[in-house]
Amino acid sequence: MRQVFFLPAIGTLLLAMACSPGADTANAAAEMQIVDLTHTFDEDTVYWPTDTRGFQLEELARGRTEGGFFYSANALCTAEHGGTHMDAPIHFFEDGLAVDKVPLTNLVGPAVVIDVSKEATDNRDYRLTLADVEAHEARHGAIPHGAIVLLRTGWSTHWPDARAYLGDDTPGDASKLSFPSYGEEAAKFLIDERGVPVLGIDTASIDYGRSTDFAVHRIAAEKQVTGLENLTGLEALPATGFTVIALPMKIAGGSGGPVRVIAILDSD
């Protein structure tokens, strides 16, 4: 069954497209402030250390054809969990939803940014605490039920330096990583009390780098909560007042996959 829904945050653009195609549509889109939260996929893309293949783009054709027109085509190879990507619940839960089964209504919606960049600067193994969430809500109001949460650590400034970003760049070895992320208590609160469908982060994992049990992944997956990892540009977002759209490659049975994530800021 096709998933069809309507979001007020982008309703103005959709209405303009339906009623006044052409220049008016372009003007409506231009008035929207859109922030790209996605790293470009290329030879510098950071992958989980156990994936040593990286991103591969093979040129199949490029140039003028016998018919006189230009033509370009490539083949690509990438692991599911590298660059800006989605973790589907099946990644850490046997009965979890695969990428192609995650409801679109979970991946498009109002969002908030929780900022722990100062704490992460002081401690690269920092984990979001419940006190951090409570402090955020004291300043900005309660996180709306069902909102997407993005955790800003400031870590995207290290991209694409894998050693600085991951804490270690030994090929095939993920035992010495060090970077900040969510803590278990905070993750449980966001999922159980705020109904968060997506946990996003500007590091390589929704578990901190030194984790060996991937507790946050398991907590999220068992509640069919999706992860968005290796985000960028979170410093350009307000704490509240924007909509996130996160559309992954629709891989049948996939445990994850590349995703283009954008934020649309609410108009004043």
pLDDT at 211 over 80: yes
Contact (CB, 8 A) for 55 and 76: yes
The CATH code that applies to domain 34-48+80-265 is 3.50.30.50
Position 29 scores a pLDDT of 55
Cα–chain-centroid distance for residue 99? 13
pLDDT value of residue 268: 66
Compute the average pLDDT of residues 240-246.
98
Q: Assign 15 a pLDDT band (cuts: 50, 70, 90).
A: very low
Decide: residue 174, CB within 10 A, 0-12 exposed, 13-18 middle, 19+ buried: middle
pLDDT of residue 267: 84
**pLDDT the model gives residue 160:** 97
Which pLDDT value is given to residue 30? 56
| Distance in angstroms (rounded) separating the CA atoms of residues 51 and 172 | 7
Name the band, by pLDDT with cuts 50, 70 and 90, for residue 16.
very low
Low-confidence winner among 21-25, 97-101, 110-114, 225-229 (lowest mean pLDDT): 21-25
Mean pLDDT rounded to a whole number for the chain: 91
pLDDT over 70 at 13, yes or no:
no
The pLDDT assigned to 32 comes to 81
Asked if residue 19 has pLDDT above 80, the reply is: no
Mark 195-233 as b/e (b = at least 16 C-beta within 10 Å): ebbbbbbbbbbbbbbebeeebbbbbbbebbbbbbbbbbb
pLDDT at 206 over 80: yes
Flag whether pLDDT at 146 surpasses 70: yes
Confidence of residue 22 (pLDDT cuts 50, 70, 90): low
If you average pLDDT over residues 192-201, what whole number do you get?
Answer: 98
